[in-house]
């Protein structure tokens, strides 16, 4: 075998590899570009630490926050807790972009969505009853009876202080000689028990230590709102709830009658930048913590998508309709998060790559066949020129052009699968060459025979 033939065979063997390599590299590059673009618009992996603004130490918010911290800790997510004076301060922290906080407890009626467009609700968690404890030989059934008394409204920044001020003003009990104090719940309870103040207004769940202490303290009474429904009409953020007869002690029938209370609804509010996976984790924890029954609500009533001051998160809305995404039910949190993110990445990538892969065989064929298109055009032009206006004196020029076409075709490199294209073109070149030979036999002065001339002579 000659050296030239060896080189030729090696070149032919390499052609398919080169063509396939070009297509594979093209597909990989397109896939990388699509992945990069999709990744730019998809949330990154969730952080392992989030910050929650809670409430006063010893209060209901602080107790619930600790519960959330333990549940999130099971999934290796650290929940950092920041104590606060209450709902109002929590809201201010969430509104302040410079303050590092992701989520917090906020009472309904504390703000409007126009004041905090960057906040979303993850749902209503529980009722926070307004407990009004007082000392008096008389029985009070309305806040108006507290006019002229020493009343603790809670510290600045607490949710109770905002509502207490509005309720006392509506009841005409806020003006002098009424004295309004700003003690913490613990300090106010001590002052009430020792008789130095007349009344304490507290927002808290039934398991709040301060509420429990005052409910069972001799000489301290709990105000039952005889006009509770009227207050809820004037203050839509409040609900009318009932502490049933005998709930504290069935044997002693304590309380002796239903106690009508006002309650704010506490919501879990988050910044709209909170990672969606962490939204699901918090909602799952909320379902575990708040789904049971309580003194003033039934089991299954919370958590709920109850409309409040902020729009409900899309993820929260989906959670309340259909629960957690399937993967979060069966996989550990971080595995489910990874799989969920990969699905979001791969679906649009596949949507681009699958059509690309299906079109690649056509592109592969077109890319090889297009090498012959130009010379087919050149050959066609030469054939038309020879057939329509033959000039025997230009036979040398015609042959030169034909040889140039043939030489160019011989230099075209294609895989073996497309050699038939080269041979077809070469056959057509020989066909035109045969016509040139026929043209060479014509006298230079004779015009070509007109179409149908032979039939006329016949």
pLDDT band at 27 (very low <50, low <70, confident <90, very high): low
Predicted model pTM: 0.63
Among 14-18, 103-107, 335-339, which range has the highest average pLDDT?
103-107
Checking if the pLDDT of 386 tops 90, the result is no
Structure letter (DSSP) for residue 413 = -
Half-sphere exposure of 4 (CA within 13 A, CB side): 0
pLDDT band at 421 (very low <50, low <70, confident <90, very high): confident
Checking if the pLDDT of 356 tops 60, the result is yes
Q: Which stretch of 93-107, 146-160, 351-365, 367-381 has the lowest confidence by average pLDDT?
A: 351-365
pLDDT in tens, 276-306: 889 999 999 999 999 998 888 888 899 999 8
Of 106 and 9, the structure prediction assigns the larger pLDDT to 106
- End-to-end, the C-alpha distance of the chain in Å comes to 60
Checking if the pLDDT of 168 tops 90, the result is yes
State percent of the chain over pLDDT 90. Answer: 39
Checking if the pLDDT of 434 tops 90, the result is no
198 in Cβ contact with 136 (< 8 Å): yes
Q: Which stretch of 74-78, 114-118, 247-251, 333-337 has the lowest confidence by average pLDDT?
A: 333-337
pLDDT band at 453 (very low <50, low <70, confident <90, very high): very low
pLDDT at 31: 66
pLDDT at 390: 76
Q: Give the pair of three-digit tokens for residue 339.
A: 């799989």
pLDDT at 222: 95
Checking if the pLDDT of 11 tops 80, the result is no
Of 159 and 95, the structure prediction assigns the larger pLDDT to 95
pLDDT at 438: 72
Of 91 and 382, the structure prediction assigns the larger pLDDT to 91
Cα 167 to Cα 132, 138, 149, 234, 393, distances in angstroms: 12, 21, 15, 9, 115
Of 81 and 359, the structure prediction assigns the larger pLDDT to 81
Checking if the pLDDT of 458 tops 60, the result is no
pLDDT band at 102 (very low <50, low <70, confident <90, very high): very high
pLDDT at 120: 93
pLDDT at 22: 65
pLDDT in tens, 119-166: 999 999 999 899 999 999 999 999 999 999 999 998 887 778 888 999
pLDDT in tens, 303-346: 999 867 889 999 899 889 988 877 777 777 767 776 776 676 67
Mean pLDDT of the region 209-218: 90
pLDDT at 171: 94
pLDDT at 407: 85
Checking if the pLDDT of 192 tops 80, the result is yes
CB neighbours of residue 84 within 10 Å: 26
pLDDT at 24: 67
On whether the 49-324 domain is CATH 3.40.190.10, my answer is yes
d(CA 61, CA 210): 13
pLDDT at 23: 64
pLDDT at 293: 86
Checking if the pLDDT of 362 tops 80, the result is no
Checking if the pLDDT of 433 tops 50, the result is yes
Of 287 and 434, the structure prediction assigns the larger pLDDT to 287
pLDDT at 445: 46
pLDDT at 359: 75
Beta strand pairing status for 221-222 and 119-134? Answer: antiparallel
pLDDT at 1: 47
DSSP-assigned letters across all residues of 178-229: -EEE---HHHHHHHHHTTSSSEEEEE--TT-HHHHHHHT-TT-EE---TTHH
Checking if the pLDDT of 271 tops 90, the result is yes
pLDDT at 307: 64
Q: Round the average pLDDT of the chain to a whole number and report it.
A: 82
pLDDT at 355: 77
d(CA 149, CA 146): 5
Exposed, middle or buried, 62 (CB in 10 Å: 0-12/13-18/19+)?
A: middle
Domain boundaries, the chain: 49-324
Q: Is 243 helix (H, G, I), strand (E, B) or coil?
A: strand
d(CA 150, CA 198): 5
């Amino acid at each position: 075998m000659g050296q030239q033939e060896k080189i030729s065979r090696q070149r032919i063997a390499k052609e398919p590899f080169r063509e396939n390599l070009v297509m594979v590299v093209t597909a990989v590059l397109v896939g990388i570009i699509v992945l990069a673009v999709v990744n730019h618009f998809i949330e990154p992996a969730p952080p392992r630490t989030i910050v929650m603004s809670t409430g006063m130490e010893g209060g209901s918010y602080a107790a619930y926050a600790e519960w959330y911290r333990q549940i999130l800790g099971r999934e290796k997510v650290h929940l950092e807790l920041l104590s606060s004076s209450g709902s109002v301060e929590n809201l201010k922290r969430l509104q302040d972009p410079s303050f590092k906080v992701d989520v917090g407890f906020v009472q309904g009626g504390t703000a409007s969505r126009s004041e905090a467009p960057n906040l979303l609700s993850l749902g209503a968690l529980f009722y926070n009853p307004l407990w009004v404890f007082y000392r008096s030989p008389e029985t009070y059934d309305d806040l108006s009876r507290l006019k002229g008394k020493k009343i603790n409204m809670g510290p600045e920044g607490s949710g109770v202080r905002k509502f207490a001020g509005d309720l006392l003003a509506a009841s005409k009990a806020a003006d002098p000689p009424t004295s309004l104090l700003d003690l913490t719940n613990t300090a106010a309870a001590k002052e009430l028990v020792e008789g130095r103040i007349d009344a304490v207004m507290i927002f808290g769940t039934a398991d709040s230590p301060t509420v429990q202490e005052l409910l069972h303290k001799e000489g301290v009474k709990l105000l039952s709102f005889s006009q509770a429904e009227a207050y809820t009409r004037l203050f839509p953020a409040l609900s009318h709830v009932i502490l049933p007869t005998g709930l504290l002690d069935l044997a002693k029938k304590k309380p002796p009658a239903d106690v009508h209370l006002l309650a704010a609804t506490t919501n879990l509010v988050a910044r709209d930048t909170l990672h969606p996976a962490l939204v699901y984790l918090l909602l799952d924890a909320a379902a575990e913590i708040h789904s049971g029954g309580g003194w003033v609500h039934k089991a299954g009533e919370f958590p709920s998508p109850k409309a409040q001051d902020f729009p409900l998160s899309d993820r929260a809305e989906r959670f309340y309709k259909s629960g957690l995404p399937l993967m979060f039910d069966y996989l550990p949190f971080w595995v489910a998060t990874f799989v969920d993110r990969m699905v979001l990445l791969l679906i649009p990538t596949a949507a681009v790559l699958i059509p690309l892969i299906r079109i690649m065989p056509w592109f592969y064929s077109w890319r090889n066949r297009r090498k012959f298109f130009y010379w087919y055009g050149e050959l066609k032009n030469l054939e038309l020129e020879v057939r329509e206006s033959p000039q025997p004196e230009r036979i040398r020029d015609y042959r030169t052009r034909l040889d140039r076409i043939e030489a160019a075709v011989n230099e075209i490199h294609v895989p073996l699968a497309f050699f038939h294209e080269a041979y077809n073109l070469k056959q057509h070149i020989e066909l035109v060459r045969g016509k040139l030979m026929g043209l060479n036999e014509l006298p230079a002065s004779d015009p070509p025979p007109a179409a149908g001339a032979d039939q006329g002579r016949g």
